[in-house]
Amino acid sequence: MSNEILVVLMFMGLLTGLFMGHQLAFVLGGLAVIFGYLGPGLSVFGIILNRIYSQMDNYVLLAVPMFILMARLLSDSGVAENMFQALRLALGRVRGGLLLAVIVISVILAASTGIIGASVTVMGMLALPAMVRYGYQKELATGAIAAGGTLGILIPPSIMLVILGSYSQISVGQLFAAAVFPGLLLAGLYAVYVAVLTFFKPEYGPPVSEEERSETSVGEVVIMLLKMAIPPILLIVGVLGSIFAGWATPTEAAAIGAFITLVLVIVYRKFSWRMLQEAVSATARTTSMVLFVIVGAVGFTGVFIAIDGQEIVTSFLAGTGLGRWGLFVLMMAIVFVLGMFIDWLGIVLICLPIFLPIAKELGFEPLWFVTMIAVVLQTSFLTPPFGYALFYLEGVAPPGVTIGHIYRGIVPFVILILVGALLCILFPPIITWLPTTLFGK
């Protein structure tokens, strides 16, 4: 059987396994075993085992469980609840104020945790019932919460950036720096959209009542904001500041962040041994899931490379005659479409080993290209039928908010993500300026 036929059958098997509902890790691992035997033969399995061991021995990946633990502890600390109450009083006086509060808190949570599940779930439980009570349009409310929550996978520290750095051989610190402004750009686009829409359609985001506004003075609100904002800001500075200043590696900074978050939990009097045990158990489960997918993907890509899959795909793309930018758009479109059916981890582990060598051949700067993949992958959490943010939000939505509201609500925000990606293409320094400034060329 020719290598070209094996490559086609591998991808057909991947899609078939996923559409049948099987777990990605076992689909990838199973296909690696089947096509390793059909293609190169038993000799390839020794190479794959060495590749798997090298990943398990990867120091950078140690940051993943630390960031996951940090996210879980921060979620249990009550910081998000306190920040929302303070921002609700501060921004609730203006049209769409609660939506703006959600976006601001989502950025802070993103820069504190890097895990979207915590952000979407917490904001869904805190903000969505309040917005429904105040008469906010349900589609706009759900869209802002889902889109704001997904910023955690782009704004550092992000476990997606850790995985991307590990597989692209690019410094995670540089990737963190490269993703800062794209993440803030998306948050800014969300905020501008919300502000403009509620300005022209006040009924979509009415301000809170005069009675609630008069309950707390401006001075009291400012003090509340300072009290609630300073701890997470210290956490952000402790993690990202230590990386950007060159004082700590991302792995060491992740450990620092987990320790600071544990201190916050104690300070806010939320600590208990049961809570810590549940946080550690949840971290172990999530980390195990990530590592299982990595093992399956390492086997899949190992067999794919052994049957000359990269050369076959590169030759196929070159034969399309699309040109440099046409191929770039095609690769981003593939990432976008796969995001509807596969989680980000699978897309990264499958597409990055194939696309990055092609991008280098086409003359694209690797750091810029990898960050562009991260920006486009924002849509994978929002696009049906398998957008994780949609399911997180549906699980905590109050009565009266349906999956239809959520699906309709994310449409403008997916468009805004694509607009943000286009701006990063037109103005590359959005991505490259900060890492160049901090780390040099």
Model confidence pLDDT, tens digit, residues 178-207: 999 999 999 999 999 999 999 898 888 887
Q: Note the pLDDT of residue 328.
A: 94
Distance from the first to the final alpha carbon of the chain: 46
Model confidence pLDDT, tens digit, residues 270-317: 888 888 888 888 888 888 888 888 888 888 888 888 887 778 877 877
CA distances for 428 relative to 140, 186, 189, 317, angstroms:
30, 15, 17, 24
Cis peptide before 157 (omega within 30 of 0): yes
Packing angle between helix 323-338 and helix 366-376, nearest 10 degrees? Answer: 40
Residues of the chain predicted below pLDDT 50 = none
Q: Note the pLDDT of residue 217.
A: 64
d(CA 425, CA 188): 17
DSSP track, 323-348: HHHHHHHHHHHHHHHHTTTS-HHHHH
Q: Note the pLDDT of residue 20.
A: 81
Residues 6+ apart with CB under 8 A from 175: 156, 161, 164, 165, 367, 370, 371, 374, 435
Q: Note the pLDDT of residue 415.
A: 95
Residues 6+ apart with CB under 8 A from 200: none
- Predicted model pTM: 0.84
The pair of three-digit structure tokens given for residue 198, joined into one six-digit string: 């509620």
Residues 6+ apart with CB under 8 A from 411: 143
